[in-house]
A = this chain, B = another copy of it.
Amino acid sequence: ARDIRLAVVAGDGIGTEVVEQGLLALDTALHGSGVTISTTDFDLGARRYHATGETLTDTDLDAIRAHDAILLGAIGDPSVPSGVLERGLLLKLRFALDHYVNLRPSRLYPGVVSPLGNPGEIDFVVVREGTEGPYVGNGGAIRVGTPHEVANEVSVNTAFGVERVVRDAFARAAARPRKKLTLVHKHNVLVHAGHLWRRTVEAVNAEFPDVTVDYLHVDAATIFLVTNPARFDVVVTDNLFGDILTDLAAAITGGIGLAASANINPDRTAPSMFEPVHGSAPDIAGQGKADPTATVLSVALLLEHLGLTAEAARVEKAVADDIADRKGQDSLARVRSTAEVGKDLAARIAG
């Protein structure tokens, strides 16, 4: 019998509520499979920060490393200065555990209302680089608060870092029916970083000759996301552009209440992390109003990553069926509570 050690970081705001339903879905999906789950709760986020001043200690990190995967709810609270928990906890996890593939699938499930009048078929996945770019924390400022302040932010891009994520994206494209990869960058302005990405995509293409490659500047990519999202199959892009594009992608496919993500370490030198794209939503926290669907879909990505493909498919189908029954309501949580949605999804997963 296989036991999966899962680190659970429920985090802030609606994090706890959605993670509870994610765990229910996970348990249900594994029922009778012979695979069991042992969870460890990590007290990380705003509460811990206020109580101890800590965001993520080396001890936390070591303890988390001893797990097979991480399920994360949401991090962030207005009571904590902007950047502290993001940099000190969420991004620290992604960087320390080398989550260089930030995977964000976008699918317009039948029954979901898109803000687009004529969305067509939307089914693409963004492979967002997770450990480089403007996210590295390589910034600084001088003369802060004076008229002579200069604040810089450095985007760091390496051949090593770009090549591994590009190769991962090609492999994903090669495994999909359309076999199409779109590089998104801004190489006409960010010429050094952009040309590294471009050359790397060209070079790795030789290993995947049946994958068709095209390129879009990030500004043009946002246009196509609203005028012709069907053109996208696999998108590979840098950390910041990926952040922007995946929120837009979530919006056109029914909102961040449905958007799942996986922070993957493909080399499996550390646990990968699965989290909804949405944040902690303090305005609706504790009211049972959050839609746990994105977390349940993140659980499907977790099962997939653990090689439990049939279970992953069952979770995704449960979500798709549930959404189809919502009949045009863009967020079912307006009608059912977080727990009710979780229960309904679990019932569908149980079959």
Contact = CB atoms under 8 A, between A and B. Distances in A.
Interface of A: 76, 82-83, 86-87, 91, 114-118, 134-135, 139-141, 143-160, 163, 186-196, 198-199, 218-220, 222-223, 226-227, 240, 243-244, 246-248, 250-252, 255-256
Nearest to A91: B189
A213 to B, nearest CB: 15
A134 B227 CA distance: 27
Contacts of A199: 145
- Residue of A115, A160, A250 most packed against chain B (CB within 10 A): A115
Q: Which 9 A-B pairs have the closest CB atoms?
A: A219-B247, A117-B117, A149-B159, A83-B191, A222-B248, A151-B192, A139-B192, A223-B251, A86-B188
B152 A226 contact: no
A234 to B, nearest CB: 20
B188 A149 contact: no
A223 B196 contact: no
A149 B163 CA distance: 11
A141 to B, nearest CB: 4
Contacts of A195: 82-83, 141, 151
A191 B223 contact: no
A158 B154 contact: no
A200 to B, nearest CB: 9
B192 A141 contact: yes
Given A83-B187, A83-B188, A199-B145, A193 B226 contact: no
25 contacts: A76-B188, A82-B187, A82-B194, A83-B191, A86-B189, A87-B188, A115-B226, A139-B193, A140-B192, A141-B195, A144-B196, A147-B160, A148-B160, A150-B159, A151-B193, A151-B196, A152-B155, A155-B155, A219-B246, A222-B244, A223-B251, A223-B255, A223-B256, A226-B226, A227-B255
A192 B251 CA distance: 28
Contacts of A139: 155, 190-193
A153 B195 CA distance: 12
Nearest to A133: B153
Contact of A154 (B117, B152, B251, B256): B152
Given A76-B188, A151-B196, 20 more contacts: A115-B116, A115-B117, A115-B118, A116-B117, A117-B118, A139-B193, A145-B199, A146-B159, A148-B160, A149-B196, A151-B192, A151-B195, A219-B244, A219-B247, A220-B247, A222-B248, A223-B255, A226-B248, A227-B251, A227-B255
Contact of A192 (B153, B218, B244): B153
B152 A157 contact: yes
A100 to B, nearest CB: 16
Nearest to A247: B219
A135 B76 CA distance: 30
Contacts of A252: 226
A167 to B, nearest CB: 13
